[in-house]
Structure 1
Amino acid sequence: MARKIGLYGMIAYFLYALFFYWYLFYFSNTSLPFEYEGTQADPATFLNARELMLSEEYSKIRNLLFFLSTPFEWLFYLIILITGLSNAFKKWAGQSSKYKMVQTAIYTIWLSFFAFVATFPLSYISYSLSKSYNISTQSFPSWMKDELIDFWLSFGTMFIIVTVVYWLMKKSKKRWWLYAWGLSVPFTLFIMFLQPVVIDPLYNDFYPLKDKQLEAKILELASKANIPAEHVFEVNMAEKTNSLNAYVTGIGSNSRIVLWDTTLNRLSDDQILFIMAHEMAHYVEKHLYIGIAGYLLLSLVGLYITARLMEWIVNKWGEALKIPAVNDIRSFPLFLMILSMLMFASSPISNFVSRYQESRADHYAIEMTKNTEAGITTFQELSRAGLSQVNPPLLVKIFRYGHPTMLERISTIEEYELKTRSQKQ
């Protein structure tokens, strides 16, 4: 039975990979609708022929890697179960220490290590791809350092989860998922509070904006929206990437707007102010807190479904998967696999909400700055720097895009321009 499950899993993954290869490279059409040709949203108007070719090539390969990586994680956890490796991890942990907490840590480190090794090739391919297309400027040692930081942060998080969740499972077989969710609320808020001051600085250096003239302009813009501009930071990303970015992070007193130095180096003050107005909109409309509430709601539903699925799977295929009981630590790969599947399945919903919020932020920036040229040229430069498709395939947009497409964003500004002109006439 275990062999059949493994075989079916590998066949399903192969067919899935084949489908997305065909979809991305042969079926999907990324050309612009006729009515947008020649507009400022048309990449042919702001990218040269080589940039157009590279953006199509890079986007297709990058999107394929995205669609391959998450289901590969599911296949990995399935193999860990059916081969008895999860059993072996527990056995090695039991032989290493008599203390339960230490045994849990040893089990988790083995699972984390095998996951790191299994997913490393795809991670390296993604890194090499971005290097070859001149998106990444990061050296291999620097990249490996970030990978190792990811590993230890992932291990630490996983250790906390497995310790708490399986303790709750033993205390309450039926309601553990509800108690786990209750504990996840303060934990999530605590991590988000620490993110800007503890976790992010592990990867890069953050400091207040250096350009004092630009800072004065941002202060003036921020005062219109009643936003504490002392929360604007820049980060040294030029040693790692040529891409441009700005984002909102943290909650409470640790909340801040972050600008990559690549953004500061390549965009004009007017373009940066447009980006700042966009990020300020997230503060004004409380998007961060709405996002947290949405995440917590989805996690409640997700944990309930996970609990029900784990019970059903263990009752039906527990012997084949070498899981004697749901509350046995050997079921942890199954727990992670189901959660990952549910997150992937729910990503169209979370991305839809995110695209709506980002669209609202774009409208806010347009109304606040009244600088449509800066908005359009900013989005054009973002497309050029990241070699991103202006009009990506539908499935890519649904599963990958937390922002509106560049076609939608630039077209929105052009429509605003037309509306403003007609009102003046």
Structure 2
Amino acid sequence: MKKAAWFAIGFAAYLGAMWFYLFHGADTALPVHLKGSAADPAMFMNERQLSLSYDFSRIKDFIYFVSVPLEWLIYLLVLGFGLSRRFRETAQGLTRFSVVHSALYVLFLSAASWILTFPLRYYSYTVSKSYKVSVQHFDGWMKDSLVDFWIGYAFTVVMVGAIYWLMKKSEKKWWLYAWLLSIPFTIFMYFIQPVLIDPLYNEFSPLKDQALKEKILLLADKADIPADNVYEVNMSEKTNSLNAYVNGIGSNLRIVLWDTTLNKLSDSQVLFVMAHEMGHYVMNHLYWNLISSIVLSFLGLYFGNMLYRRWIKKYGDAWGIKGISDIAALPALLLIFSLLGFAVSPVENAISRSAERDADQYAIEMTKNPEAAVGAFQELTVSGLSEVNPPKLVKFFLYGHPTMLERISFLDAQRTSKDK
């Protein structure tokens, strides 16, 4: 109980420090040389939009910095208060079939985590709704949340079942065998996501605007992208934000536009956005993402195994865990993977930002329309109430894209050089 109290005090102190940093301590002033430029939000947002953008962005950033350690805290409490051991014992008491034990245990742990994090997720939803970034009704949001839960549960059951089976077979090399099994699984997920998983959340249909479709397919042909269709997805019933993407591999490659993007951007702006997404394909970013996922999973499993073994050796008795292959140790393993993922996220984000800059450059070279590019990002900023120049810590941990300040100023420089 004393340790729990200290955890609670430390968590409260952390929240206070993050709140102060985000709302009072961070320097987000616009560089003097960019004032009055196309990247200056005062040039394309009114006073109310500027105020809403600041408040919305900071609240959402704060929610993120609350949610990450909250997940860690939940895992520690489940272990420290003996709940994990009780979940295991309950699962074993419900059936004599050992193959079902891990599935039941994962259900108990997932349900507990989902319930404990629900208030924060609901608050995040209400914030987006109150700032009119989200327009989704509660029942639709709840449906998506439940779909998330059951999809996550299904994949977790498969992965956890495989990992703990491997642990029982080989306590020393389970992590290596798990990594080898993860490679075809990761490739399979990249292949099936556009056609099996994405449609569970949204309705996809061929792009209705035939003239725009032809323009996009001409761009794709110019970029040597093997696409014969363009899809639009009905997102206007959920959000006012804009987005477009190219995902999938092989025959399941899909070019997708949110209908909000189609409704709010001109054709020339849409073409720039699509050229940017095609740039990711042309420069093999999709495949590099796949390779990096495989490499990072190797490193995560290797270092995760070392930490996991030490933790179980040191704290296993106190947590009521019988050994590394005990399913009751799962919260410790998930905590370790979450910590490692958080630690490596700044590096992943930096690499991602570089790829996004390259895609912007590619799109400019393909469309030769920096005016449309600048306008597209300005509209993206307004629609999503994005902060043009976020705090450095936010950019460090959250931004896989360059900030809007960086993107618009880069594109505006391209426009200026073209005019000369």
Partners of 2:419 and 2:241 lie apart in 1 by: 34
Aligned pairs for 1:85-234 within 5 A: 85-234=83-232
CA contact (8 A) 1:82 1:322 kept: no
Decide which of 5, 16, 20 is 1:18's aligned counterpart. 16
1:222-270 Cα distance to aligned partner (Å, 9 max, x none): 2211113325211000000010011222121112121100000111000
Aligned pairs for 1:174-323 within 5 A: 174-323=172-321
Question: Which amino acid letter does the alignment assign opposite residue 35 of structure 1?
Answer: H
CA contact (8 A) 1:6 1:78 kept: no
Decide which of 31, 35, 53 is 1:37's aligned counterpart. 35
1:290-327 Cα distance to aligned partner (Å, 9 max, x none): 01111111111111111111111111122222222111
Question: Which amino acid letter does the alignment assign opposite residue 84 of structure 1?
Answer: G
CA contact (8 A) 2:236 2:260 kept: yes
Decide which of 353, 362, 382 is 2:351's aligned counterpart. 353
Decide which of 360, 363, 366 is 1:362's aligned counterpart. 360
1:383 aligns with 2:357: no
CA contact (8 A) 2:240 2:260 kept: yes
Q: Shift in Å at residue 4 of structure 1?
A: 4.4
Partners of 2:31 and 2:318 lie apart in 1 by: 51
Partners of 1:312 and 1:38 lie apart in 2 by: 56
Q: Where does residue 325 of structure 2 map in the other structure?
A: 327
CA contact (8 A) 2:204 2:232 kept: yes
Q: Shift in Å at residue 31 of structure 1?
A: 1.9
Question: Which amino acid letter does the alignment assign opposite residue 357 of structure 1?
Answer: A
Aligned sequence identity (%) = 52
Partners of 2:18 and 2:173 lie apart in 1 by: 39
Q: Shift in Å at residue 174 of structure 1?
A: 1.1
Partners of 1:317 and 1:111 lie apart in 2 by: 19
Q: Shift in Å at residue 162 of structure 1?
A: 1.2
Q: Shift in Å at residue 206 of structure 1?
A: 0.8
Q: Does the residue aligned with 1:207 lie in a helix, a strand or coil?
A: strand
Partners of 2:297 and 2:229 lie apart in 1 by: 29
Partners of 1:283 and 1:105 lie apart in 2 by: 38
* Unmatched runs of 5 consecutive residues or more in structure 1: none
* Unmatched runs of 5 consecutive residues or more in structure 2: none
Distance 1:191 1:413, change over 3 A: same
Q: Shift in Å at residue 365 of structure 1?
A: 0.7
Partners of 1:185 and 1:34 lie apart in 2 by: 49
Q: Name whichever of 4-13 and 253-262 sits farther off.
A: 4-13
Q: Where does residue 410 of structure 1 map in the other structure?
A: 408
Q: Does the residue aligned with 1:319 lie in a helix, a strand or coil?
A: helix
Question: Which amino acid letter does the alignment assign opposite residue 263 of structure 1?
Answer: T
Partners of 2:228 and 2:207 lie apart in 1 by: 9
CA contact (8 A) 1:21 1:64 kept: yes
Distance 1:85 1:128, change over 3 A: same
Q: Shift in Å at residue 105 of structure 1?
A: 1.2
Distance 1:5 1:184, change over 3 A: farther
1:98-125 Cα distance to aligned partner (Å, 9 max, x none): 1011111111111111011011001100
**Would you say how many aligned residue pairs link Structure 1 and Structure 2?**
420
CA contact (8 A) 2:371 2:415 kept: no
Partners of 1:295 and 1:420 lie apart in 2 by: 39
Q: Shift in Å at residue 420 of structure 1?
A: 3.1
Partners of 2:2 and 2:162 lie apart in 1 by: 33
CA contact (8 A) 2:231 2:257 kept: yes
Question: Which amino acid letter does the alignment assign opposite residue 87 of structure 1?
Answer: R
Question: Which amino acid letter does the alignment assign opposite residue 358 of structure 1?
Answer: E
CA contact (8 A) 1:231 1:255 kept: no
Q: Does the residue aligned with 1:320 lie in a helix, a strand or coil?
A: helix
Q: Does the residue aligned with 1:297 lie in a helix, a strand or coil?
A: helix
Q: Does the residue aligned with 2:228 lie in a helix, a strand or coil?
A: helix
1:60-116 Cα distance to aligned partner (Å, 9 max, x none): 000000111011001001100011111111111111101011111111111111011
TM (norm. structure 2) is 0.98
Partners of 2:419 and 2:120 lie apart in 1 by: 50
Partners of 2:256 and 2:182 lie apart in 1 by: 26
CA contact (8 A) 1:196 1:255 kept: yes
CA contact (8 A) 2:217 2:229 kept: no
Distance 1:163 1:107, change over 3 A: same
